Structure formats: structure tokens, C-alpha cells
Chains A and B, each alone.
Chain A
Amino acid sequence: MQTKKKGPILSIHNLNVWYGDNQILDSLSFEVQPRQITALIGPANCGKSTLVRCFNRLNDFTPNFRFNGEILFNGKDMYKKKTDVTAIRKKIGMVFRKPEPFRCSIYENVAYGARIAGINQASQLDAVVQKSLQRSGLWDEVEPILHGNPEQLSIGQQQRLCIARALTVEPEILIFDEPCGELDPIETVKIENLMRDLRNDFTLIFVTNKRRQAARVSDSAGFLYCGELIEFGSTEKIFTNPQDTRTEQYVTGRLG
């Protein structure tokens, strides 16, 4: 048997997803290795968000969501009955395309994650907030306005604030669903560098429809097209020597 450290952190076997009668994902199987950046690329509406929302069971809230197949997190089926869903979500964090700071101070935004995780002592909270903001590269920018309104931050700073918030829970996996979709190139570079740093401590799943970005930052990549996983492998292979003609067309910009 594989040990927890060596084996994949997430294994997806034969995953099918429907919204009502619409099949969105069609028998996907792949594995996510720990301490790597796994990119999922594909054109709009191919089901990337649907797929990653299965990983933290966020789709549970979508009416008409149906699914079959198996998703193993550290070897355990996370859709098994009696699974503690909130525990799963603490271990698998997520950052969305549009940053959504809560309507409270910058400090409280970051502290909320820690409070959810059960940290309540003021001194501990201060430490966690500072550490998370430092990790997300925001500390120097927000230290003087820590108790101010997050709406005064640029959209890129807000996105890093959301990343800091996700880090306070100390997840094992962090899902980024098009984190740079709303950002300008300079902010985008900052997020990309941040992801490279975070790879040392976390497993990252990175959804993007910018192929060059995926090529720049990821270790493995999967190409999703019309709900099918056309190809999955190391980033180098996907971008330089793809096996499927559709992958080749997509990465060279002739498809999608």
C-alpha cells in the first residue's frame, strides 16, 4: 500500500456530474500529487469550476447537482455518508475569481478563518493574522490600515486578502479558480509568484483559461474540453509534446 506522503493527495475515479439532465463532466479520472501546482485548463464553460467545486463539496448547495464516481482525499472517499463536510473544507481551501472580502475590517477578514478553525485568543489571532498576511505578501501594504475597510484595497490586494484568509485555516490543498481573471498584468504576476511560494507548503489546484499562465506556473496540467479530460500529464509534456490533437490545437491557440 502507498503511504500518505508518497501517494496522490486527491484521486478522481470516473467522475460524472450532471446539473439536472445536463451532463457537465464525463468520466474524468486523474490524480493530484502533493506539493505541486496542478493546472486545469480549458475554454469557458467546459466545466472547470464544476470540477473543482466537487473537491470541497461546494456543489452540495447546487440544486439539481448529481454525481457519480469517486473522489479520494488522502485515500478516503470524501463523498461517503457521514463525512464531516466542514472538516473537508477546512483542509481544502478555495479562492474564487472575484475577490469577496467580508464587510468588516481587513484584520477581521483574515481573523475569521482562524476563528472558524477555533482560535479565539487575541494574541494568537494577532499572530495568525500577521503570519497569513506576510505569507500572502500583503502585510507591508496593509499594516497601517489593518483595522480599515478592505474596500480601499485594489482588486489585486483584495484577492491576496482572500488568499490570506484561506491560509489561516492551514489547509492541505488550496484551489484557485481563475484567481487572476479580474486582475491587471502586474497584479497577476504577484499572484503567480505567490503561488510558486505557496507550493512549498501546500498543494495547489489552479484553474485558468490562460494557457501561457498555466505553462509558466504549473507542474502538471489537465486539459478539459466539453466536460471531458482530454489529456493529463506533466506541464512540460502537455505544452511541448501533447498526445491529442485537440490539446495541441488548444495550447497553440488554434482551438478555444
Chain B
Amino acid sequence: MAIFSMTRPELRKKIALQGIAFIIVGAAFIFLWNTLKKTQAANIQTPSSSRISGTLPSLLSDLNLILPISLLAVLFGVAFAFYLEEWLPTTSKVRSFIESQVAFFVEIPSLLYGLLAITVLFSYADVSKEIGTPPIQNINEAGLAAIPLQHNIAMFYAETLVFIFMVIPVAIKTTQEALRSVATPIRESAYVLGANHWQVLANRVVPLALPRILAGGCRAISRSLAVAALLIGVHIPGTRGIPDRFMLFLGGALLLSTISSFLIEIYVPATARHG
């Protein structure tokens, strides 16, 4: 096990690094808990549930926002992974810091990120006011429900926040693994012919790594779709807040998964986890 082969300073460094991610998630958890409590108290109600026309328009309007942002996030993650893996030396402090944070965030289930998004929605925009608006009345030519602008901005904040912690780390990690899966001798065989770094990447590495990079991108996007499922719940008129017991369950799950991913990160060697 990794922990037994680590020297004391190494272990201390690892715990310190993981602690940062732990604190971020912990803070998010407290924030989430409080906000959801408040929204419960604010008594979200739908004034006119009779005008509800189903989940499809709501689903489509969410996907309308989520898919483009996810794609952008995946592109950013992939590009960033190239920078980390190909341009920063393995001894780089920046690289080891980012990698340890990434390793932490990919372990957290997407459901919990969804809750985080909801929290942001509830706190930065008064979504509860919007909830009564039946989306069916605002359907545009594309057949998609036009979301009120203010709502859109809130969604944008929520999404961005969620993607920073959810989609991008998955894209970074899978891309890095894809790049590493191209064996060193293949790169060296091109370097010894006088190829430069860009040529080696474009001609030899990317063609072999591409299937894995694409698979990673799909994984990252499917994670964001899971969040979409939760957000849709917020948009469907008629949702009367979230039941207390459900909240308790989710809160517990968040705490548990945070702690377990913290422990996994510290105790299990990376090779055992991803091998």
C-alpha cells in the first residue's frame, strides 16, 4: 500500500494537498445544507400546477444549456491535460498539486455535484419565483422552452461551478491516462528521427490516444447529464422543494463519499486504482 512506502514528509504533503480539496467540499456541503434549509423555510410553491405540460420542454431547455457548456468544459479539460502531461515536467509542483486535486474530485459521485448546482441556483437567483412560470408558454421555434434571462444567468453560474469540479477533472484525468498509455518507445522512435515535440504528438501519440480521449470525453459529458437530471427537477413546475429526509440522505452521502475519496486518495496506490 502506498502509505507504507511513503516517507513521512511525502505523507504529510499528500494529506495537506488532499486537505485542500477536502475543505472545498466540506465548505460546499455546509453551504448547501444551509441554503437548502433556508429554501425549505421559504416554502417554495407552485401557484399554478394545472398549467404544467410535462418534463420534455424543461428537459430540452436544460440540455440546450448543458450540452454546449459540457463540450466546452471537456475541450478545456483535454487541452489542459495536454499541457500538464506534455509540457510540465513530472517534478513540477504545479502539476503534482493539480493532479492530486483532480484525483480527488473525480471520485465524487455526480449526484452530489448536482446538489451543489441546485444550491447555487437557489442562492444566486431567486429561482423559486421562476418555478411557477410554465415553460410551455415560452417555447421558441426550435421547440425549446426559452428560459427567462435571469434564470439563464443563474444556470450559467451553477453550471460553470459544477463543471470546474466535475467535468473538467474527469476530462483531465482520462486524457492524461490516454497520453500515458502510448508507450515511451513509440515516442522515442520518432524523436530519434529528429521529430520535434509537436510532430511526435500529432503524428504518433494523438492517433493512438484518441479513442481513449474520446471515451473520456463521453464519460465526462455523461456525468454532466446526470447533473442535468437533478436540475430538471428544479425546473419542473410543481416541485415542492425537496423533502427533508431526502436531504438528510443526500447530505450523508456527500459526507461519506467525501471522506471515502479522501481515504482512497491517501491509502490506495494510484496503480491499484486505475490499473
Contact = CB atoms under 8 A, between A and B. Distances in A.
A100 to B, nearest CB: 5
Interface string A69-112: 00000000000000000110110011010101011000000001
Interface in A88-139: 89-90, 93-94, 96, 98, 100, 102-103, 112-113, 116-117
A117 B189 contact: no
Interface stretch (B20-28, B161-169, B194-202): B194-202
Interface string A160-181: 0010011011000000000000
Most buried by A among B89, B91, B189, B207: B189
Contact of A58 (B186, B192, B204): B192
Interface string B78-122: 000000000001110000000000000000000000000000000
A112 B194 contact: no
A89 B191 contact: yes
A63 B185 contact: no
A169 B189 contact: no
Given A63-B90, A102-B204, A116 B189 contact: no
B10 interface: no
Contacts of A98: 185
Given A63-B89, A63-B90, A102-B204, A89 B193 contact: yes
A169 B20 CA distance: 51
By size class, the interface of chain A is: 20 to 34
A112 B188 contact: no
A112 B192 contact: no
Contacts of A102: 186, 189-190, 204
A56 interface: yes
Nearest to B189: A100
Contacts of B207: 103
B264 interface: no
A149 to B, nearest CB: 15
B193 A166 contact: yes
Contacts of A86: 194-196
Given A63-B89, A63-B91, A103-B208, A96 B193 contact: no
Nearest to B207: A103
Interface residues of B, number: 19
Nearest to B194: A90
A56 B90 CA distance: 22
Contacts, number: 57
A93 B192 contact: yes
B192 A94 contact: yes
A86 B192 CA distance: 8
Contacts of B196: 86
Contacts of A93: 192-193
Contacts of B195: 86, 116
Interface in B197-221: 199, 203-204, 207-208
B200 to A, nearest CB: 10
Contacts of B203: 112
Q: Which of B190, B191, B204 has the most CB of A within 10 A?
A: B191
Best-buried of A58, A86, A98, A103 by chain B (most CB within 10 Å): A86
29 contacts: A58-B188, A58-B192, A61-B188, A61-B191, A63-B89, A63-B90, A86-B194, A89-B191, A89-B192, A89-B193, A90-B194, A93-B192, A96-B188, A96-B189, A98-B185, A100-B185, A100-B186, A100-B188, A100-B189, A102-B189, A102-B190, A103-B207, A103-B208, A112-B203, A116-B194, A116-B195, A116-B199, A162-B189, A166-B193
5 tightest Cβ-Cβ pairs between the two chains A and B: A90-B194, A94-B192, A89-B194, A113-B193, A100-B189
